[in-house]
Structure formats: structure tokens, C-alpha cells
Amino acid sequence: MAEVEFRGITRRYAGGVVALSDFNLTVADGEFLILVGPSGCGKSTALRLLAGLDKPTSGEIRIGGTVVNSLPPGQRDIAMVFQNYALYPHMSVYRNLAYGLRQRKTPRAEVERRVRETAELLEIDQLLDRKPGQLSGGQRQRVAMGRALVRQPQAFLLDEPLSNLDAKLRNQVRGDLKRLHRELPVTSIYVTHDQVEAMTLGDRLCVMSDGEVQQIGTTDDIYNRPANTFVASFMGSPPMNLIPADIRSGVLHVGGTVVTAVSSPDGPVTVGVRPEHLRLHNSYAQGMVPARVDVVEPLGSHVLVTALVDVQDEAAASPAAQTRVIVQAPAGTDFDPGTRIGLEMPSERTYFFDADTGRIRRDRERISL
């Protein structure tokens, strides 16, 4: 195992496309870190640079303290699992697992020991004589992970490894990965665009957008202390509600409605509240945000209510603007479309972001109730 470092990494392609810009990240020895973000954010590029499948335009990549920029993939002592498994279809599971070791001239007895131990760890020891075409998707994914782990690499890289599995298998293999890392804490970097995978798997998350790091932290940090509106809206399902508002003389205004006094500087802001933290009332009262029900979605354990909020003063010359807000309400909640309701924003769960930069105003500025 080894610490992995990206120091000031930039990757610029022909035509001026920048996939990574001044990318800095340290993954501790034995840590399970998740790179998460939308397609095209640069997360897979970072993994390819670390694996030696691509070269940075500038900056340093270190594995175990050694700069590896000029080292070919085979000399970096890392192993990678791809989303398409990349198994040899004509070889048995045993031979797939043993292939990398045999290429390195590992003694036969050592190959046998490592393959058997890895197969037992991944619970595929009964499949060693089968070929990939005889396996389920989940079994093939375990073989792909086993082929990487059997080498006992310094770092283990996983590029969207669950994307080809159905929802039930993804949940199962997620659990397998968590158990596997607990039993064999190899330094691991896992790439995904799925924020549920990100939040359930990693020790820490690195949220990326447009080739840049937006925030690095634990699941609790990312979910409860988002650094900006991108992180707030990307992490969470449904995502955090972001409502345009204005603070005047220490009072929060949403559209033409005075909501409450706040301890945040005056000026335009974006107010953030997660769906599960908004409190829905059957009627509007002072201190609430007035809204109108648009859609009600029963989901068994709870109900999602989508409401429309006016975010522009009715006295403005241009037509009134609206934003959609999602509220997680108790099971059995029901409203007709168009019903007027009131939304209460709890002080300890309300965030204020700068309207221009999207950055959080300090750590968390609260409504003064």
C-alpha cells in the first residue's frame, strides 16, 4: 500500500480542451477515496493519469513518495478495474486471476496461494473452472476485482465498475466492496458519477466539476456542509433546493414576501434547504415561504411534493419568475395541484450561498429566529 498524490496536475488536450486544471489531491495509505462528478468533469482522466494510460501536461503524480510521471503503467505497481470487466473470454476464472502473476514470473506455488486466497475472499472459489461467459454480471465483476487484487498492488483503481450491473446487483456488489476494503485496506480510488455509490462507499469524497475540485471531505462534510451550490445540488437525491432570495437590512425576502430576520450580510443570495428538512404546512403563515403545489409523488415510506415558489416581487415590471422546490413529506400526505401551502425553513438546516459565486457564506449562516 502507498500514499497517492496529485500535485498541480493539468491535462490539456489538442484544441485547448482542459480536462484537469491545477488538480491537487492526496489519498492516504489504505484510504478508500471516491472521485465523483458528472460526465466530463475530469475524474476518469485523473485515474488514467495515475495509471499511466495518459500523461499530464504539467504537475507531478507521486505513488509512495516516488514521482511516476515518466514511468510506464507496468512499473507503477497499481491495478485497475474497468466498467467492461476486460476479462479474457477464452480463459477460465483461475487463469484470468493468475495471468498477471504469471506474466511477472511469480513462482507457481505463490500463484496458487494468492489465487486461492483472493477467490475465497471474493467468494468465487467455486467458479475457478468456469469461463467468463458462464458467469453472471456480478460474478464477472468479482473476477475483475480479483484479477487486480491478486497482484497485491500499491493502489487499486476502479473506473465506474458497477455501471453495467442492474440496481439489485449494484447494491450487492457495493456491500462486497465495502467488506473487501475493511478486510484488505488497499489504497483505493473509485470513480463514479453516481452520488449514492459515492456517499455509501468511500472514506472521503472528492467532488469534481469542469476539471476542478469543488470539495473534498467525508460524506457528512459534503452533505451537511457543502462548499458551494454545485456540491449542494449534485450530492443528494432529491438534491438540495436552491431558492433565489435577497437580504435587505438583515431581513430575508423571497420574491415579495418577508420571511424572517437573518444573521447574514445584505445582498442577493441563494437559500439552500434539503427536501427532508423543509417543513410543509397546509396554509401560509408569517415567517414561511408561500408556495403552490404542482406535483405529489407517493413513494411508500414518504411523499415528495413539488411546489412552485414565486422568487420575484410582484411589483417588478417583468413577468413573475418561479422556482421548483421539493419537499419530503410523511406518507399519506396529499394535496390537489394548485393548493396554496406554506414552507418553513428550519434555522439549523438553512444555508446561504453567494448569488454570484455560488460559494457558501462562511460555514453555515443561520436564520435568526
Q: CA 142, CA 132: separation in Å to the nearest integer?
A: 11
Q: CA 26, CA 15: separation in Å to the nearest integer?
A: 30
The sign of the torsion formed by the CA atoms of 48, 51, 56, 59 equals: positive
Q: pLDDT tens digits, residue range 75-89?
A: 998 988 877 778 889
206: enclosing H helix or E strand:
strand 204-209
Percent of the chain with pLDDT over 70: 95
Residue 319: predicted pLDDT? 53
DSSP code of residue 228: B
User: Which grid cell is 304?
Assistant: 415528495
- Report which of residues 216 and 174 the model is more confident about: 216
CA separation (Å) from 133 to 42, 46, 83, 127, 139? 33, 31, 16, 12, 10
In order of start, what are the domains of the chain with their CATH numbers?
4-232 (3.40.50.300), 238-354 (2.40.50.140)
3-state secondary structure of 18: strand
Residue 275: predicted pLDDT? 97
Task: Indicate whether 196 pLDDT > 90.
Answer: no
Pick from 232, 224, 221, 173: which is nearest to 197 by CA?
Answer: 173
Q: pLDDT tens digits, residue range 42-56?
A: 999 999 999 999 999
- Report which of residues 296 and 166 the model is more confident about: 296
Lowest mean pLDDT among 102-111, 201-210, 310-319, 326-335: 310-319
- Report which of residues 368 and 352 the model is more confident about: 352
Inter-residue contact 207 to 37 (CB < 8 Å): yes
Inter-residue contact 23 to 213 (CB < 8 Å): yes
Inter-residue contact 311 to 341 (CB < 8 Å): no
Residue 18: predicted pLDDT? 94
Q: pLDDT tens digits, residue range 313-353?
A: 655 545 568 999 999 999 999 999 999 999 999 988 999 99
Q: pLDDT tens digits, residue range 256-286?
A: 899 888 888 899 999 999 999 999 999 999 9
Task: Indicate whether 142 pLDDT > 60.
Answer: yes
Percent of the chain with pLDDT over 90: 64
Express the helix, strand and coil content of the chain in percent, nearest 5 each: 25, 35, 40
Query: Across all residues in the chain, what is the average pLDDT?
Result: 90
Q: CA 24, CA 7: separation in Å to the nearest integer?
A: 5
Q: pLDDT tens digits, residue range 131-141?
A: 999 998 888 88
Q: Across residues 106-111, what is the average pLDDT?
A: 92
> What's the chain's length in residues?
369
